[in-house]
Amino acid sequence: MVIDEVDRKIISRLQSGIAVEEEPFRSVALELEIDEGELLRRLQGLVDRGVLSRFGPLLNAQALGGGVTLAAMSVPEDRFEEVTEIVNSYPEVGHNYERDHHWNMWFVLLTEDPEQIGRVQRLIEKRTALEVRLFPKEKEYYLNFQLQL
Amino acid sequence: MDFLDREILLKTQGGLPLVSKPFDEVARTIGCSPEMVRERFQKMLEMGVVRRIAAIPNHYQLGYRLNGMSVWDLPDEMVDELGVRVGSLDFVTHCYRRPRFLPDWPYNLFAMVHARSREELDGQLLKIQEILEGNCRAWDVLFSKRILKKTGLRMAEKRCFD
């Protein structure tokens, strides 16, 4: 891993976010006892090196009025590449993971309109002749994106 | 959400400028006042449209190469209480109640765990089991084998909220 103790402190602290202030990094730098310039340089370095995917607003699809659901398929081994290509071709498909299970393909569907979820599900089912199971969240028990570093 | 909110999110969803006055910088590219940008962000945070303005770590780059989707079959009347407790564990990043597909999918609680090794992950699953005690009727864990596509939540350029 290419991060040092200071980077670690910065990531730990900034996972919970900044306040909306004119100079939001100033208080964070004070808290971490480093220079604000160094904080910003290091932050940019972490983004450039891909240690952070980004630094910015984390959006909530449902609050934005869109549809979001987890979906799963059970894809025969010999059709896996073909089906992956079809599923990934839909812009509504976000993260897609191969998982070690009978239900071996798991992806997130994100649509502008909640009603479009079912439409994308039916399109994928039609093109692959496989079942697409939807696992919409019924309840969220705290989202804790904070990695312990 | 109006046009300005949308503009602000479009300009910043890829990343906030990493300068000492980031909201001023955003205001300059949009052509409105910094106060306006901050006011809108504050409102969107309160509304929950923006969860937070924060560092989004790349788990994989940080050494957390294993992710396991653990799934648990809990009695309906207990899932909320237990879900909150599982969700508050520091290694659980997402925790949701989702529908069952009977008979082959009895699980109603999903908890995503991230670890640097299989041993670490097994330890995490044990901790979840301790919380669930005798209430869990069946469980499974689905390890990630491969990332097939990775795109975060993005607002489409043409998206219209009106």
Complex confidence, ipTM: 0.81
Taking residue B95's Cβ as centre, other Cβ atoms within 10 Å add up to 27
pLDDT > 90 fraction of chain B, expressed in percent and rounded = 75
Same domain flag for B108 and B139: yes
Same domain flag for B21 and B74: no
Exposed / middle / buried, residue B116 (Cβ in 10 Å: 0-12, 13-18, 19+): middle
Contacts of B49 in chain A (CB under 8 A): 59-60, 63-64
Would residue B153 count as lying in a domain?
no
List, for residues A86-128, the tens digit of each pLDDT value: 999 998 998 899 999 999 999 999 988 899 999 999 999 999 9
Q: Are A28 and A34 in contact (CB under 8 A)?
A: no
Would residue B117 count as lying in a domain?
yes
Would residue B52 count as lying in a domain?
no
List, for residues A16-28, the tens digit of each pLDDT value: 999 999 999 999 9
Judged against a pLDDT cut of 60, whether residue A145 lies above it is answered with no
**How many domains is chain B built from?**
2
**CA distances from residue B10 to A85, B2, B14, B29, B155 in whole angstroms, order as listed:** 28, 12, 8, 11, 7
Structural tokens at position A35: 């220079």
Residue B155, chain A, CB below 8 Å: the answer is yes
The per-residue pLDDT for B71 is 98
The amino acid that residue B66 corresponds to is L
Helix A24-32 with A5-14: angle, nearest 10 deg: 130
The per-residue pLDDT for B162 is 25
Q: Cα distance from A60 to chain B (closest Cα, Å)? A: 5
> At A93, is the secondary structure helix, strand, or coil?
strand
Contacts of A136 in chain B (CB under 8 A): 98-99
- For residue A56, the number of C-alpha atoms closer than 13 Å in the C-beta half-sphere is 20
Judged against a pLDDT cut of 60, whether residue B103 lies above it is answered with yes
Is B23 close to A145, i.e. CB distance below 8 A?
no
How many angstroms separate the CA atoms of A22 and B35, rounded?
Answer: 8
Cα Dmax for chain A: 58
Would residue B42 count as lying in a domain?
yes
Quote the domain boundaries for residue B13: 3-47
List, for residues B68-88, the tens digit of each pLDDT value: 999 999 999 999 999 999 999
Judged against a pLDDT cut of 60, whether residue B159 lies above it is answered with no
Same domain flag for A75 and A24: no
**How many domains is chain A built from?**
2
The per-residue pLDDT for B64 is 86
- CA neighbor of B35 nearest in space, from B4, B57, B63: B4
